[in-house]
Homo-oligomer: A and B are copies of this chain.
Amino acid sequence: MRRAARKRRTRQLEQVFEAVQGDHTHPFAHEIYRRVHKRLPRISLATVYRNLHSLVEEGKIRTLLLDGQGARYDPETSEHDHFVCERCGRVDDLFLWRARRRIDLTSLAKHGYVVMTHNLTIHGMCPACASRRRLSRPSRPAARKP
């Protein structure tokens, strides 16, 4: 078997949990480490990883796998989706439009699939990047007025 359920409440675990909870930018493990390290200067990155795993296993936080540099962590455990900005890399939670996302999973069940969770990610540009782009990156030379 893999590992026993976590039993002990340690300062490291607590701090890792708080760090993730206090950060809705979907941080990477290394960012969690930086935050926790300020309070527990002797903590190691390995411990941060171990505690992140424990918290995910317990269902207290979630893992997010998107493009790029590795796993991100999400304190939001309720059902929601994500928007990934391809320009600046930020990830926003999307709750708002739950009503507009009607996904009928019953057809899968009819084919023998057992659905546990699902996961919708939108890629594009966040409002900030979209407007910045419009201003700063003309895709062709501005038309000269005659």
Inter-chain contact B122/A121, CB cutoff 8 Å: no
Q: So how many copies of this chain end up in the complex?
A: 2
Which single member of B65, B104, B111 contacts A67 (CB below 8 Å)?
A: B65
Is there an interface contact between B113 and A127, defined as CB atoms closer than 8 Å?
yes
Across the interface, name the chain B residue whose C-beta is closest to A125. B114
Contact string against B for A residues 6-19, beta-carbon threshold 8 Å, 1 for contact and 0 otherwise:
00000000000000
Is the CB–CB distance between A120 and B123 below 8 Å? no
CB distance from A75 to the nearest CB of B (A): 19
How far apart are A78's CB and chain B's nearest CB, in angstroms? 16
Binding site for B on A (CB under 8 A): 63, 65-67, 83, 86, 94, 96-97, 100-105, 107-108, 111-127, 130-131
